[in-house]
Amino acid sequence: MKKWKLLLSLLGASLAVEATEIAPWFGNDKEFDLNTSYVYQTYDKVDGKYGAEDMSSNDHMLNFSLGITPDSVFAGEAELLLVKSDFRSFGVDSFAFTGRKQLMNDVVGDPFSLVTGVTMTLPTNKGSHDMSTIHHADVDTEFHVSIGKEVSSGKYWLHRSWTSMGYLLSNIGSPAFRSKTLFEKNINNHRFKFFGEAFYGLGKKELDVTKDFRGYGSLNHQTIDVGAAYTYNLGYGREISAGYERRLHAHSAPARVNRFCLNYLYTFSPVVVNSSVK
């Protein structure tokens, strides 16, 4: 008899448009995470050089990612983001590639979990010229570190909290800082997540909506978002999630943003385990 190895994923995808996995825990060795998410984003104001301007967009975003954990120390991920907004037709927004290394793991006895990594994002020309998705330039490279702690009962975790910090460099424009903090509660097959995220660009210019948008690299942009999500474990490595995110603060960026997300995660292993019943 053949059966696939079962996995309860350590973390569902981020509800931000960038669905890159940055949690300080990895999945099981030699397993893949196939993640598909749909995001509907809407806003009716843009904060610019002359204050809040009436400018709206209804955005549809599809993110496909494939992650792999080759061993207990390293993890990798590749992503494709497709976007349709009021400023452009449906098409490719960006490609992203991530590599991460786990330095500490509280699951095996360390005082906390610590993971470092780097993500390279390659926006298309349309992606970098659409204010609905925040890209700085043609090549965005973000160095990030995540630290967290979980409370477990037996082989299952009950709740955990973690935070991450990122520093973004681009081939054009100024750097940026990103931070994210989450709290998660796990109850049998149900998981609840609450999070906040801040993204600050270090440019000197303000967004001028009267001119053609050329990307966020030169802007002193600021965004603060909060949200919540619910995940249900379907078993056999499958999860579905739904969530909502709201923008609380915006400077030189879209304001009053509402974001709704649906996500499907399938974890699988190419290794087949043989078993027999005597």
Q: How confident is the model at residue 10 (pLDDT cuts 50, 70, 90)?
A: very low
Name the band, by pLDDT with cuts 50, 70 and 90, for residue 19: low
What contacts 270, CB < 8 A, 6 or more positions away? 30, 32
Distance CA 39, CA 60 (A): 6
User: In the prediction, which pLDDT does 11 show?
Assistant: 33
Contacts of 224 (CB under 8 A, 6+ apart): 196, 197, 198, 247, 248, 249, 250
Q: Do the beta carbons of residue 178 and residue 142 sit within 8 Å? A: yes
What pLDDT is recorded for position 14?
Answer: 38
- Count of the separate structural domains present in the chain: 1
pLDDT tens by residue, 50-65: 899 999 999 999 999 9
C-alpha 14/C-alpha 261 separation (Å) is 9
Mean pLDDT to the nearest integer, 9-34: 70
Phi, psi for residue 248 in degrees, rounded to 5: -95, -30
**pTM score, whole prediction:** 0.88
Q: Which helix (H) or strand (E) holds 37?
A: strand 31-48
The average pLDDT across 123-144 equals 95
Phi, psi of 214 (to 5 degrees): -120, 20
In terms of residue numbers, what domain contains 41?
2-274
At 56, give phi and psi (nearest 5°). Answer: -120, 160
Confidence at residue 13, expressed as pLDDT on a 0 to 100 scale: 34
pLDDT value of residue 220: 96
The yes-or-no verdict on residue 23 having pLDDT over 60 is yes
Q: pLDDT value at position 271?
A: 64
Tens of pLDDT along 184-241? 999 999 999 999 999 999 999 999 998 999 899 999 999 999 999 999 999 999 999 9
CA angle 220, 222, 228 (to 5 degrees): 165
Average pLDDT of every residue of the chain = 90
The string of pLDDT tens digits covering residues 93-127 is 999 999 999 999 999 999 999 999 999 999 999 99
Burial-class residue 141 by CB neighbours within 10 Å (0-12, 13-18, 19+): middle
pLDDT for 196 equals: 98
Residue 2 CB neighbours (<10 A): 7
Span 235-264, pLDDT tens digits: 999 999 999 999 999 999 999 999 999 999
pLDDT of residue 265: 96
Report the CATH number at residue 196.
2.40.160.40
In the predicted structure, residue 275 carries a pLDDT above the cut 50: no
Go through 158-169 and write b for each residue having 16 or more CB atoms within 10 A of its CB, e for each that does not.
Answer: eebebbbebebe
pLDDT bucket at 28, cuts 50 / 70 / 90:
confident
